[in-house]
Structure 1
Amino acid sequence: LLVERFQRVLEAVINDPLCLVGSIDVLTDDERRKVLEQWNDGGAVEAERLPLLPDMVSARAGQAPDKTAVVYGDVSLTYGQLEEASNQLARLLISQGVGPETIVGLAVPRSPEMVISMLAVLKAGGAYLPIDTSYPPDRIAFMLTDAQPLLLLTTTEVVDLLGDTNTTTLVLDDAALHDRLTGHSTTAITDHDRHTPLHPHNAAYIIYTSGSTGTPKGV
């Protein structure tokens, strides 16, 4: 195919030595038909039919519950464990009002709990806002004030680094919260459980720019 394409370029130059290189057509009739018609027929998959990440993880957990999903140091989680833990946390978040277009702050150190938290927020339908606790206190305060998350998930390891915040905070490794989580079902989350149906166009997460050229912006 590459040789044929090169041959067409040479033939074009021979037939018209004054032609512009950018004007040389390197596509075959079949390739042009694919690009202009077959691949551009307006029949794109509707957004509503696209698979959702929470559903994809749940499907994988159903297919291979004992396969390793998360590894951190000497700690690992299977897909089954990840599914159950994230479902319980998602149900707790839903009970606290989290749903599509709702923001949840995540001030959770890199760990299996961070993955569980991210997935739980998505399962509840919300969008997660990652917060690096190594940021200066002023930046953390700005992000929380600007994004206005409904809840803030964190751990005892870093909760004191967040400073004063008016956001309702859930400490994941707190014994009382653990008791609340165990009271929730581990079954998969569906739109029946959420406050409103979840769609691919709903926000999934918010990332803030560095702010090196001015005020950080949430994207």
Structure 2
Amino acid sequence: AWQGIQALNSEERTNYPLTLNVDDVGDGFKLTALAASTVGAQRVCGYMHTALEQLVDALELMPQASLQSLSILPAVERDHLLVDFNDTALDYPQQQTIHGLFEAQVELTPQALAVVHGEQRLTYRELNEQANRLAHALRKQGVQPDSRVGICVERGVEMVVGLLAILKAGGGYVPLDPAYPVERIAYMLQDSAPAAVLAQSATEALLADVAVPVINLDLNDWQDQSVQNPQVPGLTSAHLAYLIYTSGSTGLPKGVMIEHRNTVNFLTWAHAAFYGSALEKTLFSTSLNFDLAVYECFAPL
């Protein structure tokens, strides 16, 4: 039998964040816990008290029970973990798309500066119109909801225009970092089966013998398209927003499909977690092939 479990007073000191002593008192034993205040010694004692009670009951009533079936959580702690910690439901526009959020911002701040790259400057209206022209060109190439569109461009204004254009056309973008080996780019192109690929003169050679239309953003032959927001029949927040590949460290890279509503949920959290001034000037520096780029590009916009 144990004679009790106690927490040490504040005069006791230890170099460890958690200490649990077991003292033999002859006909039983005593447990003493010392823990950092952020952990709480009394909380640790609650675990031990519950675990010992469970163990004694099991020895008496269910000696064949597996140890891992015994609980160490007091009722209050269990409720805290399973109920309080999971009370995370928040409202967000579940039917909205990424580009829909952007288009709403364009209506609010058309003349505000949206993208800066070197000497290049685009306002929200200018960025939206550029993306719309390219989106209409992609629609003419057959891009529709859940189509994949590769994007292999160097960092710059064209990258942001291309991402928004693909989404506005109804497609999901497949990032193809020009810094990646040609073999990896070829594999991602073959595996994702895109309807088209956006490229530049400096990156076209990386696409090898891709069998789908390639739109060279440097040629500007899409600039004569409409500047109006495309209307894509049937497009919903449940459609593909982007397809991003894993590192392939455990085999071939695997494409992970992310829907608009997943990203809208994330962007809604970002705007609740960070002040506008913290998002106002964000450096878009992460490779498109890493999902942090989703935050760096779309949260500020």
Aligned twin of 2:96: 51
Q: Aligned to 2:223, what secondary structure does the other structure show?
A: helix
What are the Cα deviations for residues 142-186 of structure 1, in whole angstroms up to 9, with x where unaligned?
A: 1111111010110112112322221211101115x1xx432x221
Is the aligned partner of 1:117 residue 2:166?
no
CA distance in 1, matches of 2:48, 2:145: 60
Determine helix, strand or coil for the equivalent of 1:205: strand
Q: Highest Rg: 1 or 2?
A: 2
Match of 1:135 in 2: 180
CA distance in 2, matches of 1:117, 1:17: 58
* 1:160 correspondence with 2:195: no
Work out the CA distance in 1 between the residues paired with 2:210 and 2:139: 21
Following the alignment from structure 2 to structure 1, what is the Cα–Cα distance between the partners of residues 180 and 122?
A: 29
What secondary structure, in the 3-state scheme, does the structure 2 residue paired with 1:77 have? strand
Q: Does 1:80 align with 2:130?
A: no
**1:185 counterpart residue number:** 226
Instruction: Name stretches of at least 5 consecutive residues in structure 1 with no aligned partner.
Output: 1-5
1:24–1:128 CA distance, 2 compared to 1 (3 A): same
TM-score of the aligned structures, taking structure 1 as reference length: 0.76
Q: Distance in 2 between matches of 1:56 and 1:163?
A: 35
Matches within 5 A, 1:53-72: 53-72=98-117
* Distance verdict in 2 for CA 1:17–1:81, change over 3 Å: closer
Aligned-residue identity in percent: 36
**Cα distance 1:24–1:61, how it changes in 2: closer, same or farther (>3 A)?**
same
**Structure 2 partner of 1:3:** none
Instruction: Give the deviation of 1:56 after TM superposition.
Output: 1.0
In the TM superposition, residue 17 of structure 1 has moved relative to its aligned partner by 9.0
Deviation >3 Å, runs of 4+: 16-27, 43-47
**102, 106, 115: which one aligns with 2:147:** 102
Structure 2: how far apart are the matches of 1:136 and 1:116?
A: 24
CA distance in 2, matches of 1:104, 1:188: 19
In the alignment, does 2:217 pair up with 1:172? yes
Q: Distance in 2 between matches of 1:75 and 1:57?
A: 20
Which structure would you say has the larger RCO, counting Cα contacts within 8 Å and 6 or more residues apart?
A: 1
Deviation at 1:25, TM superposition (A): 5.4
Alignment of 1:193-212 (within 5 A): 193-194=231-232, 196-212=233-249
Deviation at 1:44, TM superposition (A): 8.0
Q: Which amino acid aligns with 2:73?
A: S
Q: TM-score, normalised by structure 2?
A: 0.57
**Letter matched to residue 199 of structure 1:** T
Question: Is the 1:149–1:167 contact (alpha carbons within 8 Å) kept by the matching residues of 2?
Answer: yes
Pair 1:152–1:214, CA change in 2 (3 A): same
Which of 146, 149, 173 aligns to 2:191? It is: 146
Partner of 2:37: none
